[in-house]
Each structure stands twice: as structure tokens, then as C-alpha cells.
Amino acid sequence: MAYNLTQKIIKEHLLEGEMIPGNEIGIKIDQTLTQDSTGTMAYLQLEAMEIDKVKTKKSVAYIDHNMLQQGFENADDHKYIQTVAHKHGVYFSRPGNGICHQVHLERFGVPGETLLGSDSHTPTGGGIGMLAIGAGGLDVAVAMGGGTYYITMPKVVNVKLTGKLRPFVTAKDIILEVLRVMSVKGGVGKVVEYTGEGVSTLSVPERATITNMGAELGATTSIFQSDDVTHSFLKAQGREEVWKELKADADATYDEMITINLDELEPLVAMPHSPDNVEKVANVKGLKVNQVCIGSCTNSSFLDMMKVAKILKGNTVHPDVSLVIAPGSKQVLNMLAENGALADMIAAGARILESGCGPCIGMGQAPATDAITIRTFNRNFKGRCGTVSAGAYLLSPETAAVSALKGELTDPTTCKTNIDVIMPEKFFVNDNMVVPPAEDGSKVEVIKGPNIKPFPLNKELEDSVKGKILIIVEDNITTDHIMPSNAKLLPFRSNIPHLANFCLTPCDEEFPARAKQNGGGFIIGGDNYGQGSSREHAALVPLYLGVKAVLVKSFARIHKANLINSGILPLTFANINDYDNIELNDELIMENVIQQVKAGKVIVHNKSKNTDYELNVELSQKELSIILAGGRINYLKNTL
């Protein structure tokens, strides 16, 4: 039987289930990664499971999100993560070593292995042929403990790339085109696999840009073959021994097919406030720009930075523009400093940020009121940049650099600069900012600061569930809406009681108070509820506030999994028109809940309107057991 690449890797790691799309499968996880925004909670959960030492081939804890230390909270979390990692067999990437996805691609990723990360952009690893999946922190903690990772067997979409990119047309434009075609919910339940003659023309960093933003499709992951290009990259990283060739069988089949002719592609831009709101730059050129941000896990590679430096060299940033640049790793920053490219950036007027997520997650560099900020990042949700009234646009580093000089959005193909960059035969390798785990973890003391609070636990599902409608939200609500993640709140990611005061406030400032006053209740949402970041805080905080169930038209994959892990019922309307017939503060009642949930249908009675709604409960047998137990931790305690 012929297999595509996705099926080959899943088959090699399959522990439970059959590879039939829609069926639940369990796979073995080889590697994990965490970052400091989600990592504290993941390691608290690992400790709660009483795991002495991780059982993966390699697990790495990164510090790259909460870098701004304006109080003790972030530093305390970093010390906790470092000590708990040292004790339990996890490698620790220190602050300043770089963004988790960039560093993992450079130093740890292995073609053909599985990677589970507590960050939605973990699929970046697909750029070297990994099956790399983003998940909630609890799923990652279970995987670190040697547990099976359960997921719905995805469909596989073949995006066939033909031709070759023209100068100033980039990998960012490829993924923006895929987003334009598929939309932010078009990848749900799917893996996007890139094939075709155009693949061999793309470097590993370019491939990683594309797989990185597959997260914005809602896809399970995205993947490229491991070929001579991959071999050259790993050899240059001094890791040639981990390379192996991986590709789909010649007669492999796919569930869907999309063809993109790279010869015809033009520079693209995602307009506010969604990554799939894509236009040609040529159609928007002339837009006055106030801020330009270059970096993030999407576009901070050595190749990206060198092209930016070539455009900026000998020029000056427009006086009305603030240009900030964040190289993705210490390796990249080191190389830019050594070859003079960093000096060219600084001379042009760029402000150099440390190697971290920074403005991509709203951690500093918030633009001015009503400003236009153009960014090489992956998300432009309203308010994510730190300024609700700002308009954020997503584009390539080349378009960003040219626009920074002009002061307005500019088609980069009009630039005459030669930006050809050759992949280095040897990258600068110095892993002195990675701390290996202790040989004897029993001697390591784990240090917890006063800001680190216990995470909430649910209780077994009750047979009668009652409460009021606490909030009604629209389509495409993100985890940024559910649990904001700005510079003021990120330091409190290990303090659920404090975060509870800000839950869903971008949608309704009264939600936290209403939830507390009513002792919890229900959330009503539209399509693709919970898209975006993998942060399980978007489930843990509603759990803390007493949310019993979330009733929506449809869920984003990771958020639904996080709700299940927290023991919160994820329900979808059988008749989506019922969404329009519900009002704030309506009182809902669900009786005989356990039997109904087991049957896959729940009848909800609206006492305020004396009417009933039918809702679907789409759970695998494993997920059903978790819901009945009141969450994943309770389930594990019961089964172990």
C-alpha cells in the first residue's frame, strides 16, 4: 500500500487505533518542547502526576515569551522551570538563547520523529520533516511522562508547489496564499503536506515559515519532505547524523489537492484583523506605516535577517517609522554580529530587540493609538499587538524592510537591491545557553516563587447541570480573547486566580464579575471558537470561574482538547440557528447528563424561554472517560 509522508510517520508511531480519518488514534511522542508562558503550568501538572524523570527521547524547556522582568514574577517562573527541568530530565534553554521553534529547528529537531509542544506554532518542525504538533500543556506533560498522545486521525491535504519564486516573492507569500485559499478554519482536522517540484527550491528556513503559519489554518500540523536541502541544513548545524531521507510514496493519495504556481505568486499581505484576510501588496501600496516589526518564530532566521540587512544597508529608516528587529536565536544574532549585518541594521536606524517572542505576543512594542503596524509575524488579531485601535498587517521581511525605508506599504519587487543570500556551509554553533538535566535529579531542589499558585481541578460530571448564560460571543473568537496575554498579564500565567479577573474581558468587561456572582454557568460561541494559541489557560481560567459547558457552532482543535482536559463539556449546536435564539442571563438546565453525554446528544432546556435545544457531544471513548472523570488529571489518577 502506498503512503503519503504524514501516514508514514504516524504508522511508525502508532500505538492505538486505525489510520482512518476521523478515528481516534494514539501515537508515541519522541520529543517535547515547552515555553515559559505555558511551561510553568505543564511542569506543575508533571509534578502532580508524580513523574520522576521524563521518558521521551528529548524534552526541552525554553524561556522566550515572558522576557520582560518588570517584577519578580517572570524571574520566579524562570527559576522554577529551570530547577524542575533540571530535576526531571529536561534540557533548559536559557533566556536569550532564542525562540523555541527557531532554536528547536536549529539544534534539536530530527526528521521523521514526533514532536509535541505546548505552543500552537510547534508545527514549525515540519520544515525538516518532523510530525510536530501543538497541544495544551497537560497533553505535553502526559507525553513527557511517557503517555500516549491521542488525536483524531487527520485528513491529509496535498499542497503541490510548482515553479520557482521570483526575487522579493517569499515563503511568507506562499503561506498567505494558502491561508487565502483555505481560511483560518480550513485546516481543522487536517495535515497540510507540501509536495511538487517547487519544494526543492525552498530552503529549510523557508519551509519552516510555511509550516509555522499552518497553525493559522487550524491544521493539526504541516510537513515537508526530508531531502538533500534538509541534509545540507543539518550538516551546516553539525547534526548531519540525525538526517534521513523522507518522502511520500510515488503513488501516494491525498484527501484534498491544492496547486500553487510559484512563478505567478506576488507579494501578499494579511489585512486586519485575521491572517486569512489576504490581499496583494500592489493593491494596498501607499498605506502610511507607523511601525515595522521584523522577527518572530515565523521570520527570524539567518536568511531572513540577512535579506533585511541587505535592504537596509546604506539607507535610513523613514522618520515617521519605528523599526524593531528581533533575531530568532542567539546563533542568528551571533552570526549577524560577526559578519557586520547587525551593524548595517543599527546604522539604518533599527532598534534591536533580544532573541525572543517580544511584540508578536504583545510583550512590548505596542504601537500608538490608531497606528498602522506591519509585522512579519503570524497573527494580527485585534488587540494582540497591545493596542486595540491599531491595524496590524502581516507580510514578508522583504516587504517590511522596503516599507520601513519608504514610510508606506511598498511592493518589494520595485526594489533594485540584490538580496541573494547563500545558505551557510557551517552555522555558528555554541550551545552554552542550553543547560542539560542533572544526572541525579533526586538531589535537585525545585524552587517555587510566591506567584505560583495551584491549578484548578474539576470534579466528576454531575447528572444535573444548571446555570445562566454568562456571555455570548461571535465567530472566530481566539484564545487571546478568552485569556488575554499582554505584557501586564503574562507574568501571572502561573496564577490562575489573578488571571480570572481578565477572562473574556476583550469581549465583555463584566464577564468575570458575572461568572463569580452566578457561581459559574455557560459560554455561548460561534464558529471556530478558541482559535489561535494553544494556551490551556483559556480553559483553566473558565474552569476556575465555574464554567460548566461551552456551547458553540464549532471548536478549534486545541482549545476543544483543553476544555476536555479540564472537564468542561464542549457542546455544538445541532441546529446552528439556535445560537440566535439565546440571550444573556437565560437560565439553562441539563438533566440526565451522564446518559445523554454517553449517547452523544444533550437536550438543553432554556427555562427562561421555555424551549429546548439539541446539542452534539463529539467525543472519542477516551475523551468521554476524561469528561466523566472531571478532567484529565482526575482520569489519570483513577486509571493509575
DSSP letter (8 states) at residue 183: -
pLDDT at 640: 62
Positive or negative: CA dihedral 178, 179, 180, 184: positive
Q: What is the mean pLDDT of the chain?
A: 95
pLDDT at position 485 is 82
What is the rounded average pLDDT of the residues 313-322? Answer: 98
Whole-Å CA distances, 379 to 213, 272, 362, 547? 9, 10, 11, 27
Q: How far is CA 373 from the centre of its chain?
A: 21
pLDDT band at 68 (very low <50, low <70, confident <90, very high): confident
**Rounded mean pLDDT, 595-609:** 97
DSSP percent split of the chain into helix, strand, coil, nearest 5: 35, 20, 45
Write down the number of H helices and E strands in the chain: 21, 27
Model confidence at 552: pLDDT above 80:
yes
Model confidence pLDDT, tens digit, residues 417-474: 999 999 999 999 999 999 999 999 999 999 999 989 888 889 999 999 999 999 999 9
Beta strands 587-590; 465-472: pairing state: antiparallel
Determine whether domain 465-639 maps to CATH 3.30.420.40.
no
- State residue 358's pLDDT score: 86
Going through 135-265 in order, the beta strands assigned E by DSSP cover 149-152, 155-162, 190-195, 221-223, 256-261
Give the residue-averaged pLDDT of 574-592. 96
Amino acid (one-letter) located at 541: V
The answer to whether residues 222 and 178 touch, using CB atoms and an 8 Å cutoff, is no
**H or E element at residue 325:** strand 322-325
CA atoms within 13 A on the CB side of 574: 11
What's the distance, Cα to Cα, between the start and end of the chain in Å? 38
Cα–chain center distance at 536? 12
Give the side-chain half-sphere CA count within 13 A for 183.
Answer: 7
User: What's the pLDDT tens digit per position in 267-286?
Assistant: 999 999 999 999 999 999 99
- What are φ and ψ of residue 523, in 5° steps? -110, 135
DSSP one-letter code for 600 = T
Burial of residue 513 (number of CB atoms within 10 Å: 0-12, 13-18, 19+): exposed
Grid cell 493609538 — which residue?
369
**Residue 491's pLDDT is what?**
84
Pairing of β 291-294 and β 31-35: unpaired
Q: Report the predicted TM-score, pTM, of the whole model to 2 decimal places.
A: 0.92
Assess whether pLDDT exceeds 90 at residue 69. Answer: no
Amino acid in the structure at residue 67: M
Q: What mean pLDDT comes out for the span 31-35?
A: 97
Q: Is 422 exposed, middle or buried (0-12, 13-18, 19+ CB in 10 A)?
A: exposed
Grid coordinates belonging to 277? 484576510
Q: One-letter amino acid identity for 505? A: T
Domain boundaries, the chain: 5-264, 280-414, 465-639
- Distance (Å, whole) CA 280 – CA 453: 47
The answer, yes or no, to whether residue 360 has pLDDT greater than 70, is yes
**Quick one: which of 363, 329, 326, 428 has its CA closest to 97?**
329
Q: Does the bond joining 273 to the residue before it have cis omega, within 30 degrees of 0?
A: yes
Tell me the average pLDDT across 40-69: 92
Is the pLDDT score of 584 beyond 90?
yes
Per this entry, what is the length of the chain? Answer: 640
Write the pLDDT tens digit of every residue in 172-214. 999 999 999 999 999 999 999 999 999 999 999 999 999 999 9
* C-alpha distance from residue 492 to each of 43, 70, 121, 298, 479 (Å): 15, 12, 22, 26, 16
Q: Minimal CA–CA distance to 379: which of 277, 489, 499, 524?
A: 277
Q: pLDDT tens-digit profile of 611-634?
A: 999 999 999 999 999 999 999 999
Query: d(Cα 135, Cα 561) in Å, to the nearest integer?
Result: 8
pLDDT for the residue 364: 87
| Residue 308 CB coordination number (10 Å) | 32
Helices (H), 213-263: 228-236
pLDDT at 488: 83
Report pLDDT for 493: 84
CATH 3.30.499.10 fits 280-414, yes or no: yes
**Class assignment of domain 5-264?**
alpha beta
Cβ count near 242 (within 10 Å): 15
Q: Answer whether 280-414 and 465-639 agree in fold.
A: no
Instruction: Read off the C-alpha cell for 251.
Output: 503513488
What digits encode the pLDDT tens for the residues 70-98?
A: 888 889 999 999 999 999 999 999 999 99
Q: What is the pLDDT of residues 468-518, one digit of tens each?
A: 999 999 999 999 999 998 778 888 888 999 999 999 999 999 999 999 999
Q: What is the pLDDT of residue 50?
A: 86
Residue 150 near residue 188 (C-beta atoms within 8 A): no
DSSP sequence for 534-570: --THHHHHHHHTTEEEEEES-B-HHHHHHHHHTT-EE
**Range in 112-116, 404-408, 417-421 with the lowest mean pLDDT:** 417-421
**pLDDT digits 0-9 by tens, 152-177:** 999 999 999 999 999 999 999 999 99
Task: State residue 48's pLDDT score.
Answer: 86
pLDDT band at 66 (very low <50, low <70, confident <90, very high): confident
Q: What's the burial of 22, exposed, middle or buried (CB within 10 Å: 0-12/13-18/19+)? A: exposed
Q: How far is CA 175 from the centre of its chain?
A: 15
Q: Match 446528544 to its residue by C-alpha cell.
A: 601
Give the number of other CB atoms < 10 A from CB of residue 595.
10
Better-scored residue on pLDDT, 199 or 49? 199
Q: Alpha-carbon distance 454 to 44, whole Å?
A: 8
User: Distance between CA atoms of 38 and 421, rounded to whole angstroms?
Assistant: 35
* Percentage of the chain exceeding pLDDT 70: 100
- Is residue 152 within 8 Å of residue 248, measured between CB atoms? no
Strand partners, 159: 194, 258
Q: Which set of grid coordinates corresponds to residue 384?
A: 494582540
Predicted pLDDT at 617: 97
